[in-house]
Amino acid sequence: MAAARKVVIIGSGHNALVAAFYLARKGLKPLILERRDLVGGAAVTEEFHPGFRCSTVAHAGGPALPSILRDMQLVKHGLETLESPVRLFAPSPDGRALVLDTDPNAAAQRIHAFSEKDAAKYLDLHKALEETGAILSELLSLTPPALDKPSTEDLWKLLRVGRKIRGLGKKGMMRLLRWGPMAVADFVAEFFETDLLRAVVAARGIFGAATGPRSAGSTALLLLRAASDPHPAGNSAFPRGGLGALTAAMAAAAKRAGAEIRTDAEVEQIVVNNGVAIGVVLRSGEEISAKCVVSGADPRRTLLGLLDPVNLPPNFAVKLQNYRSNGTAAKLNVALDALPTFSALKQSSESNAALAGRIHIGPGIDYLERAFDDSKYGEFSRAPYLDISIPSILDTSLAPAGKHVMSIYMQFAPYHLKQASWLQQRDALADTIIKTLAAYAPDLPDKIIARQILTPKDIEETYGLTGGHPFHGELALDQIFTMRPLLGWARYRTPVKGLYLCGSGTHPGNGLTGASGANAAREILQDLR
């Protein structure tokens, strides 16, 4: 092999860039190999129609851990975060508008128009998520303990988290233990009587998952997300220039620290000798040796695709084949001639402000559950749940003057369709999304200039996410923390010595926090020392 390296990193998603930064800061000079011609993985900004750009796959997420923002000095590398005072707008079928401000008191005042009781309970929920989120945030930067032989460090860190949980008091501890396994529909029902408000909050527990609001354990996903942002409606901030600006800043920080990035360099094989990873082979035929190989790709692609499974223990390979990573989400990017007019905001002078956050289409718990039901039987949702942003309201650089881009995240669209292929159904999927949204914004179809639909198959083929899953694998009770990706293999190492995982298929695996990459780098450095 030629061109020996200490560390080779496969992929340039946000976690890979974070890992590269921390490894480079210790003088290891990692080489990042990216299969596409631009850096960022699924967190990229691309032009999908002349003059129109948006965050092509992911359109919201994170926020990045404060420690990562600080260490990588992302602001100095050009990261500018934009956020509307309004977190979320949700139209109701009867023409009313639920608007949730970032300020919880302002949000509660708006909720008062729907229910006086819900307005008070909203503040209770916000406080509860702040308290539990502050504790669970400790877990984000924690390497899951080795269950068979936990180290002293493992025990100490868990003890520290345990002490914080005890600080909740007996009632608070029991509440937290009860919430985790609950269906998120039951969780929100304990706080609110307004179905629309229930659905808005419950959506955080099903976002990106093959899960309905009545699925057991969906509250755990909501709580995991509250660890990085406790706002009941979730995060709505995004970088100026789209999410590609975030990964561009991360790439700049990694390069400044000493990392090298090569694009158009697709890894075809991880080379193993006597049970040890010794390098990679590119599709071009070039061989690169390395002291260790770090993969930012998902676990199935890494260990069952790039690696010859003969190098894995048979029971490990069988378990990994059953690791759930088929996505149920699609993405529609739309170029608009002008902002659509939402019926619920028609008489409002604050329509632009309300549309500058996220837009939720999913008017009730039953609606969300029925959308999920369709996907269970191999069909995409006839009335889907939509999470929408119009980033060009705050960031005019994304579209020509007076024009706009709309980013629409859709659930549910199963990876495997029962009676057709995605090649046959892609236009029907886009039409269904537009029809669903047009029920709330009737003039939308007339304002569409162009559209780009990404099915789960497209996401897999173009962006390298197995099954088109945005989080590299299902986030569920049996695939989080000590069981992500598999029980006994949650510490970023693999059965192949010198081969590590750093992507979203590892703990905590959620959003654009960068925690998986930072945690993996810490374990790699410990081994190399």
Burial of 153 (0-12, 13-18, 19+ CB in 10 A): exposed
With tokens 């070039």, the residue in question is 286
φ, ψ of residue 494 to 5 degrees: the values are: -130, 175
388 bridge partner residues:
359, 408
Token pair listed for 442 = 């009737």
pLDDT of 349 reads 59
pLDDT of 176 reads 85
pLDDT of 185 reads 98
Q: ∠ CA(370), CA(371), CA(375), 5° rounding?
A: 105
Residues in the chain: 529
Question: How many helices, marked H, and strands, marked E, lie in the chain?
Answer: 17, 18
CA distances from 132 to 187, 189, 220 (A): 14, 18, 11
- Which spans in 39-168 are helix H? 66-72, 104-111, 116-140, 152-166
**Residues contacting residue 435 through CB under 8 Å, at least 6 positions apart:** none
Token pair listed for 366 = 């039953």
With tokens 């000493």, the residue in question is 258
Token pair listed for 477 = 């009770």
453 bridge partner residues:
332
Rounded to two decimals, the pTM is: 0.96
**Residues contacting residue 22 through CB under 8 Å, at least 6 positions apart:** 71, 517, 518, 521, 522, 525
Query: For each of the chain's 529 residues, which pLDDT tens digit applies?
Result: 556 899 999 999 999 999 999 999 999 999 999 999 999 999 999 999 999 999 999 887 678 999 999 999 999 999 999 999 999 999 999 999 999 999 999 999 999 999 999 999 999 999 999 999 888 898 899 999 887 777 777 777 777 777 777 777 877 788 888 999 999 999 999 999 999 999 999 999 999 999 999 999 999 999 999 999 999 999 999 999 999 999 999 999 999 999 999 999 999 999 999 999 999 999 999 999 999 999 999 999 999 999 999 999 999 999 999 999 999 999 999 999 999 999 999 755 577 889 999 999 999 999 999 999 999 999 999 999 999 999 999 999 999 999 999 999 999 999 999 999 999 999 999 999 999 999 999 999 999 999 999 999 999 999 999 999 999 999 999 999 999 999 999 999 999 999 999 999 999 998 899 999 999 999 999 999 8
Token pair listed for 523 = 């374990």
Domain segments of the chain: what residues? Answer: 2-42+62-80+242-324+468-528
Token pair listed for 9 = 């990193």
Q: What is the Cα 390 distance to its own chain's centre?
A: 18
Q: What is the CATH number of domain 2-42+62-80+242-324+468-528?
A: 3.50.50.60
CA distances from 437 to 90, 363, 382 (A): 12, 12, 12
Strands 45-49 and 52-55: antiparallel
pLDDT of 166 reads 77
Measured over all CA atoms, what is the biggest interatomic distance in the chain, rounded to whole angstroms?
71
396 neighbors 317 (Cβ within 8 angstroms): no
